Amino acid sequence: MILLLWVFGAVPAGAADGDHERYGVALQVDYPVKVGKKTGMKVKARLKGVTKRNRIRGEWTVKADGEEMTVPHGKKKGPEKPVRFGGTVADRLKDGKKVSVTATFRGTIDGKKVRLSTTRGVTPPKVKVRVRCRGDRVEVGGTLTRTKKASGRWTFEVFPSGKEKPLDRYSSDEMTGPSHHVFLKRPDGPFEARVTVDGTVGREVHGDLFGKEGGRFEEAAGQVSLRSGCPEGTGGSVDESSTRALRIRADHQVLLGKKIQDLWIEVSDSEVRGVQMKGTLDTEEKAVGIWRFYYRYPDKVRLPGGKEKNVIRKGVLASNKGVVELPMRRKDEYHVIVDFQGTVGGQKVHVKEPYHFSIPRVMQKADPAADPSFTVIEAVITGRKVEGRWMMAIARPDGKILYLHEGKPRFTVKLPEGRYLLKTVFYGKVDGLTMAMQESKSLVIKEKDRDTYLVPGKNNELRTYEEGVSAVRGMRRSGRLSESDHTYSARAGAYSGGTAALLVIIGLAVYRKRKLS
3-state SS string for 419-487: EEEEEEEEEEEECCEEEEEEEEEEEEECCCCEEEEECCCCCCEEECHHHHHHHHHHHHHHCECCCCCCC
Task: Please write the tens of the pLDDT for every residue from 481-506.
Answer: 875 444 333 443 444 344 344 434 44
Question: pLDDT band at 293, cuts 50/70/90?
Answer: very high
H or E, element range at 270? strand 270-281
Spell out the SS3 assignment of 352-398: EEEEEEECCCEEEEEEECCCCCEEEEEEEECCCCEEEEEEEEEECCC
The per-residue pLDDT for 388 is 95
How many angstroms separate the CA atoms of 401 and 491, rounded? 13
Q: What is the pLDDT of residue 169?
A: 86
Higher pLDDT, 514 or 242: 514
How many whole angstroms separate alpha carbon 157 and alpha carbon 140? 8
| pLDDT at residue 268 greater than cutoff 60 | no
Q: Which whole number is the average pLDDT over 382-406?
A: 92
Q: What does residue 88 show for φ and ψ, rounded to 5 degrees?
A: -65, -30
Q: What's the length of the chain? A: 517
What's the pLDDT at 186?
87
**pLDDT of the residue at 498:** 44
Q: What pLDDT was estimated at residue 260?
A: 54
Of 6-15, 271-280, 336-345, 364-373, the range with the lowest mean pLDDT is 6-15
pLDDT category of residue 331 using cuts at 50, 70 and 90: confident
Flag the least confident range among 30-39, 120-129, 287-296: 30-39
Q: Are 49 and 26 in contact (CB under 8 A)?
A: no
The predicted pLDDT at position 237 comes to: 33
223 vs 113: CA distance, rounded Å: 52
pLDDT given for residue 174 in this prediction: 62
- Mean pLDDT, range 91-102, rounded to an integer: 80
Whether the Cβ atoms of residue 502 and residue 510 lie closer than 8 Å to each other: no
Q: What average pLDDT does this structure show over 362-382?
A: 90
C-alpha to C-alpha distances, 348 to 238, 244, 248, 345, 469, nearest whole angstrom: 13, 9, 15, 9, 52
**Which of 116-125, 182-191, 236-245, 375-384 shows the lowest mean pLDDT across its residues?**
236-245
Q: What does the alpha-carbon distance between residue 66 and residue 145 come to, in Å, rounded to a whole number?
A: 26
Give residue 475's identity as a one-letter amino acid code.
M
Q: What is the pLDDT, as a whole number, of residue 282?
A: 78
Give the other-Cβ count within 10 Å of 435's Cβ: 22
Mean pLDDT of 239-264: 62
pLDDT at 410 over 80: yes
Calpha distance 230→218 (Å, rounded): 31
On the question of pLDDT at 447 being above 50, the answer is yes
Distances (CA, A) of 173 to 155, 170, 222, 364, 415: 9, 10, 19, 32, 48
Cα 337-343-348 angle, rounded to 5 deg: 90
Q: Which helix (H) or strand (E) holds 489?
A: helix 488-491
| Whether pLDDT at 62 is above 90 | yes
Quote the DSSP letter at residue 516. Answer: H
pLDDT computed for residue 228 by the predictor? 61
The answer to whether residue 236 scores a pLDDT higher than 50 is no
The predicted structure's pLDDT at residue 488: 36
Distance CA 30, CA 82 (A): 10
Per-residue pLDDT averaged across 50-71, rounded? 90
**pLDDT class of 474 with cuts at 50, 70, 90:** very high
Q: What value does the mean pLDDT of the chain take?
A: 77
> Cβ atoms within 10 A of the Cβ of 328, count?
21
CA distance 181 to 195: 9
Query: The pTM is what?
Result: 0.47
Percent of the chain whose predicted confidence (pLDDT) is above 70: 74
Q: What is the pLDDT of residue 77?
A: 83
What residue ranges in 123-218 does DSSP mark as E strands?
126-134, 137-145, 151-160, 168-176, 179-185, 191-198, 200-201, 204-205, 207-208, 216-217
Share of the chain above pLDDT 90, in %: 26
* pLDDT, position 229: 59
Q: What is the pLDDT of residue 310?
A: 86
Q: Which residue has the higher pLDDT, 306 or 147?
A: 306
* Res 391: pLDDT: 94
Euclidean distance between CA atoms 372 and 395, whole angstroms: 20
Mean pLDDT of 280-288: 85
Q: Quote the pLDDT of residue 390.
A: 96
Give pLDDT tens digits for 152-205: 778 889 888 878 788 988 877 666 667 788 888 888 888 888 888 875 444 444
By the 10 Å C-beta count (0-12 exposed, 13-18 middle, 19+ buried), 39 is classed as: middle
Q: SS3 for 193?
A: strand
Quick one: pLDDT at residue 505? 43
3-state secondary structure 389-430: EEEEEEECCCCEEEEEEECCCEEEEECCCEEEEEEEEEEEEE
- 492 phi/psi in degrees, rounded to 5: -55, -45
In this predicted structure, which of 214-223, 391-400, 465-474 has the lowest mean pLDDT? 214-223
Between CA 30 and CA 217 the distance in angstroms is 9
Rounded mean pLDDT, 406-426:
94
Lowest-confidence segment of 162-176, 238-252, 287-301, 404-418 by average pLDDT: 238-252
**Rounded to an integer, what is the distance from CA 474 to the centroid of its chain?**
35
- Least Cα distance to 122 among 102, 152, 149, 151 occurs for 102
Helix (H, G, I), strand (E, B) or coil at 92: helix
